[in-house]
Amino acid sequence: MTEHTNQSSCPKMCWLIAAVLGLFILVLSLALWDLGWIASTFFGGLVFIVSGLLLSWLFCTGDTAPMGASSDATAGETSAVDHTAPASDAAPAAASVAAAAAPAVEIKPSKPLAGEADLDARKGSWTYTADASDTAKPVAAAPAPAKNDDYDGDGVVEGENEGTRPATLSAPRDGGADDLKRIKGIGPKLEKLCNDMGFYHFDQIAAWTADEVAWVNANLQGFKGRVSRDEWVAQAKLLASGAETEFSKRVDKGGVY
């Protein structure tokens, strides 16, 4: 009865230990080696099978002896097991053997970054010192990007040829040019620019169509878009009719320029 119990319990214990080792390898492969479920399951199963067979061969071979073997041989094997390996030490010894038999898994290093080796070789071998010329030379500001507007409101951003050029004069009419500075938004520089373009009188500006306003807006170098933004046409119509605006009154009093 005792022999039959030993024959059944020894393999169970060995395969139980093998299962624990296989599960341990499976968890280790997933957590630390990042091998994925398929590879981790393969290694865990491989460790389970190899450990189970190895432990059964090491510790359970004597228990599977034929039933007709002499009592002396059985007693000798039992005595050898009792005196050489206590039951409490069998599991740690089996675990050590199984761990030694487990296949080693190679951990591949991560791919080195470009220039990493060169940077590591030069580490600590250089220092940065500011050149005196760096502080002497002012850094030029980046030019502002060119801005194009849809001056005639047709939804198309166009260049300087947008719209239609209004009628111009080569010189002011008799009596001299109007004081275009009385239009809010036209200062001395803009007045000169308007005169150079052939615009001298309020009635010229008052007669501009939307298409002509778009042309002037696009061609006022340095002041593009000012005609619409400051509503020149509306002011010019009032001034051409002889009316005044609040701004023109201030200019007439000398409180602006």
pLDDT band at 104 (very low <50, low <70, confident <90, very high): low
Taking CA atoms, 131 is separated from 60, 122, 125, 185, in Å, by 81, 21, 19, 48
Q: Which residues of 206-223 are buried (b: 16+ CB within 10 A; e: fewer)?
A: bebeeebbbbbbbbbeeb
pLDDT in tens, 80-98: 334 444 444 544 555 555 5
Helices (H), the chain: 2-28, 36-59, 71-84, 87-101, 116-122, 132-136, 188-197, 202-206, 210-219, 226-229, 232-240, 246-252
- The residue ranking higher by pLDDT, 64 or 211, is 211
pLDDT band at 130 (very low <50, low <70, confident <90, very high): low
% the chain with pLDDT above 90: 33
Q: Ranked by mean pLDDT, which of 71-75, 101-105, 197-201 comes out on top?
A: 197-201
**Residue with more model confidence, 200 or 222:** 200
What is the pLDDT confidence band of residue 256, given thresholds at 50, 70 and 90? confident
- CB–CB of 152/210 below 8 Å? yes
Whole-angstrom Cα distance, residue 245 to residue 87?
A: 113
pLDDT of 16 reads: 82
**Cα–Cα dist 125/39, whole Å:** 44
> Residue 133 corresponds to which tokens in the numbers above?
């010329």
What pTM value is reported for the model? 0.42
**Quick one: average pLDDT of 117-127?**
64
pLDDT for the residue numbered 248: 93
User: Is residue 142 over pLDDT 60?
Assistant: no
